[in-house]
A and B are shown apart, each in its own frame.
Chain A
Amino acid sequence: MGVDSEILKLISLCKKGDRKAQFDLYGRYSGLLYAVALRYTNTKIDAEDVVQNSWVKIFSKLDSFSENNSFEGWMRRIVVNTAITLYRKNQKHANQIDIADVHATPRDIEASRKCDFTRDELERAIARLPEGYGLIFKLYVIDGYKHKEIAEMLDIEVNTSKSQLSRAKKYLQNQLCYMEKKAIPLPEENTDEKNK
Chain B
Amino acid sequence: MKPTNDLFEQQVRSKYEGYEVPAPASTMDAVFNELDLAKSGSFASKSLLIVASIITVGSIYMISDKPTQTESLESSTQIEQEVVDTEVLIEETTEEFDIIVEVEEPTTTEQTVDPVLVQETNVAQQNVISEEVVVAKKPAIVVDEIKEVAQPVEVVETKTPDVKEQKEEEKKKEKVEWVLPAKIKVEK
**Which residues of A line the B interface, CB within 8 A?**
17, 19, 22-23, 26, 30-35, 38-39, 48, 51-52, 55-56, 59-60, 73, 112-113, 117-119, 122, 141-144, 146, 169, 173
Interface pair A48/B8, CB less than 8 Å apart: no
Interface pair A22/B35, CB less than 8 Å apart: yes
Interface pair B21/A38, CB less than 8 Å apart: yes
Residue of B with least CB distance to A34? B23
Residue of B with least CB distance to A146? B2
Interface pair A142/B20, CB less than 8 Å apart: no
Number of interface residues of B (CB under 8 A): 27
29 chain-A/chain-B pairs, Cβ below 8 angstroms: A23-B32, A26-B31, A30-B22, A31-B20, A31-B21, A31-B22, A32-B20, A34-B23, A34-B27, A35-B16, A35-B20, A38-B21, A48-B23, A48-B26, A48-B30, A52-B30, A55-B27, A55-B31, A56-B35, A59-B31, A59-B35, A112-B8, A113-B7, A118-B15, A119-B19, A141-B4, A141-B13, A143-B1, A169-B8
A-B contact count (CB 8 A): 77
SS of A interface (majority): helix
- Chain A residues lying within 8 Å of B32, measured Cβ to Cβ, are 19, 22-23
- Chain A residues lying within 8 Å of B12, measured Cβ to Cβ, are 122, 141-142
How far is A48 from B30 in the complex, measured between Cα atoms in Å? 10
Interface pair A30/B16, CB less than 8 Å apart: no
Interface pair A173/B31, CB less than 8 Å apart: no
- Chain A residues lying within 8 Å of B35, measured Cβ to Cβ, are 22, 56, 59-60
Q: Does B140 contact A (CB under 8 A)?
A: no
Residue of B with least CB distance to A123? B15
How far is A169 from B7 in the complex, measured between Cα atoms in Å? 12
CB distance from A128 to the nearest CB of B (A): 15
Q: Does B84 contact A (CB under 8 A)?
A: no
- Chain B residues lying within 8 Å of A19, measured Cβ to Cβ, are 32
Q: Does B73 contact A (CB under 8 A)?
A: no
